[in-house]
Amino acid sequence: MRGYEWGTGTVRCGFCHNYGHNITTCKHVDTVFQVLCRKLEVEPEYLPTPDERKAFIEVKRREEAKTKQRKPRRKGRCSFCGSESHKRNRCHKMEDFKDRVLRANRAWKEHFVELANKAGYGVGSLVSLPVGFLSDYEPAVGIVVSYTKQKVSVFCELANHHSKYHAVPTVDVMANNELVTIDLGRLKGFGNRFDRGWNYYEVISVSPCEWSPKPEWYDEGDNHALRWFFKDISMKKKSFPLVDGLIKKWDKK
């Protein structure tokens, strides 16, 4: 999912540019500010550097924040349904939604395997990679190794391609002793289902192989993208009706 891919990076500080924190908790701000104060004591006309000015502004902001009266905390709400009677981890609506998503995703993935086999791109199939894909001089032959589990899900069918919950499916192909990840939009006869506007560098199936995934391919216990989705989604989000409609379409129960 787009949102999961955006969120995999750790927050980065805009002051020291290190990962794991932001400027509001950056210890380097205090250090630079203290050095600036000593410089001004020795030379009152000293002109601060951009970083020193940034540190001065941040320290002033922190001091002002301490003096402000804190508003009384609102009663806690469920971050999924908005109820004040429970938290997210005890939300029955969330549990029901999660079960429906998993059922819908299983049904969609079973359908996806049928599509892949029908188009000739099952795992083990030989495919032809055109000139310009791996080499500027000659085409290459590769073998379909696997479909990226965290990108192949029911959310590939989400109508809003700009939604952070939309997934762009990919396949891993081994060619010339190199593992390459290819968007399904490049697979001729199969990729048009997931078209992203490409009409060049098409990958073509030359020797199809029937694919029967192992049970673990359907098990989402290690699907980190799906875990992120369940933590992020809520009924108050604008995209929820669209997501819920997609789940209802594929939930066979």
Average pLDDT over residues 153-173: 89
Please report, rounded to a whole number, the percentage of residues in the chain having pLDDT higher than 90: 53
Identify whether residues 48 and 104 lie together within a single domain: no
pLDDT band for 173, please (50, 70, 90 cuts): very high
Cα–Cα distance, 102 to 82 (Å, whole number): 22
Same domain for 12 and 115?
Answer: no
- Of 15, 35, 67, the position where a domain reaches its end is 67
Q: What is the pLDDT of residue 212?
A: 94
pTM: 0.72
Q: Is residue 181 assigned to a domain? A: yes
Q: Does one domain contain both 56 and 99?
A: no
Q: Where residue 81 falls among pLDDT bands split at 50, 70, 90?
A: very high
Domain residue limits at 200 = 90-250
The reply to whether 119 and 159 lie within a common domain is yes
Q: Would residue 80 count as lying in a domain?
A: no
pLDDT averaged over every residue in the chain: 87
Judged against a pLDDT cut of 60, whether residue 229 lies above it is answered with yes
Mean per-residue pLDDT for 6-32?
79
Q: Please give the pLDDT value at position 161.
A: 80
- 128 and 47 assigned to the same domain: no
Q: Are residues 14 and 107 in the same domain?
A: no
Residues 94 and 62 in one domain: no
Whether residues 111 and 194 share a domain: the answer is yes
Same-domain pairing of 149 and 30: no
pLDDT at residue 38, rounded to an integer = 92
Q: Which segment of 42-46, 66-70, 104-108, 121-125 scores lowest on mean pLDDT?
A: 66-70
- When pLDDT is averaged across residues 122-151 and rounded to a whole number, the result is 87
